[in-house]
Every structure is written in C-alpha cells, then in structure tokens.
Amino acid sequence: MKAVVQRVQHASVEVGGQIVGEIGRGLLVLLGVAKNDNQTVADKLLNKVLDYRIFPDADDKMNLSLKNIGGELLVVSQFTLVADTNKGLRPSFSAAASPELGRELYEYWVKEAEKSIKNVATGQFGSDMQVSLQNDGPVTFILEA
C-alpha cells in the first residue's frame, strides 16, 4: 500500500463536474492498493499518515500531526501509484490489487480514518476524478506500508 500525502490549505475532488469531496486545512491522500495488501498493512499505513508530523508548531518546525492540529482528510483512490515503472516506457499494473480488493481496502482505510479524524472526505472509487488542491509549503511525501 502506498500513499502520496500532501499538506493542503484546501482540496476537492470532482466527478462529472460535481464536487464529491472537499476539505479545508489538512491532508490530501492519494491511496494505492497492491494485490498483496491486507487490513494489517492498511492499518499500518493509516497510523503512519495520521501521526506523521508534517504540520508546523509554534516554532515553525514540522512537529505536529494531522491529529494534533484537528485537520481534515481527503482520500482519493489511485491504483497508478503501485505501477512498476522500472522497465520500458509504459507502466505495468501487474502489482495492483484487483478492483474488488482495491475497493475493499480503500473503504476499510476510510472507515478506520473516520474513527480518528472528524472530517474525512473521499473521491469515488474507480471514477474519472479531477482533483484540485492548494499545496501548503509545498509539502508532499510518499509513504508506504
């Protein structure tokens, strides 16, 4: 499981011209699920994302987590994150989870996040989505579990 985590001032996701999820200050997470992932892996990555200290404290040091600041979370499924790009000029998606497993673990991840974060928004799994954001910093990390 892999996540691109972006600290944002605000972010939103549209499907068919309609906003389906939006947040204020917090994290935009693009979430990729691999075929060997399971709930244990999902829990590990979720805990890392929620506790990762990437927000500034009073001294402007990255010492606070999403939980510490009471921030919001926008989670968007993105299977292309688990692509193998090591050979040639075309990505291979053989490591990606099946749509069924991808949806199951994505929905599990979101449900678990809602236990710790007050405002969790999502995209629509498997849809063509347009994501807008104002990256704060910019601050972007790739996290894996």
Domains of the chain: 2-144 (3.50.80.10)
d(CA 76, CA 80): 12
User: Of 6, 55, 78, 125, which is the active-site residue?
Assistant: 78
Whether 18 sits among the annotated catalytic residues: the reply is no
User: Of 9, 18, 39, 79, which is the active-site residue?
Assistant: 79
- Low-confidence stretches of the chain (pLDDT beneath 50): none
Instruction: Say what the pLDDT of residue 44 is.
Output: 98
d(CA 36, CA 1): 9
What is this structure's pTM? Answer: 0.96
pLDDT tens readout for residues 103-113:
999 999 999 99
> Residue 71 half-sphere exposure, CB side, CA atoms within 13 Å?
28
Whether 79 sits among the annotated catalytic residues: the reply is yes
Dihedral angle, C-alpha 120, 121, 125, 131, nearest 10 °: -130
> Residue 92 half-sphere exposure, CB side, CA atoms within 13 Å?
7
**What's the whole-number average pLDDT of the chain?**
97
d(CA 29, CA 4): 6
Contact assessment for residue 9 and residue 48, using Cβ atoms and an 8 Å cutoff: no
Contact assessment for residue 84 and residue 91, using Cβ atoms and an 8 Å cutoff: yes
User: Of 80, 85, 130, 134, which is the active-site residue?
Assistant: 80
Instruction: Say what the pLDDT of residue 85 is.
Output: 94
Whether 85 sits among the annotated catalytic residues: the reply is no
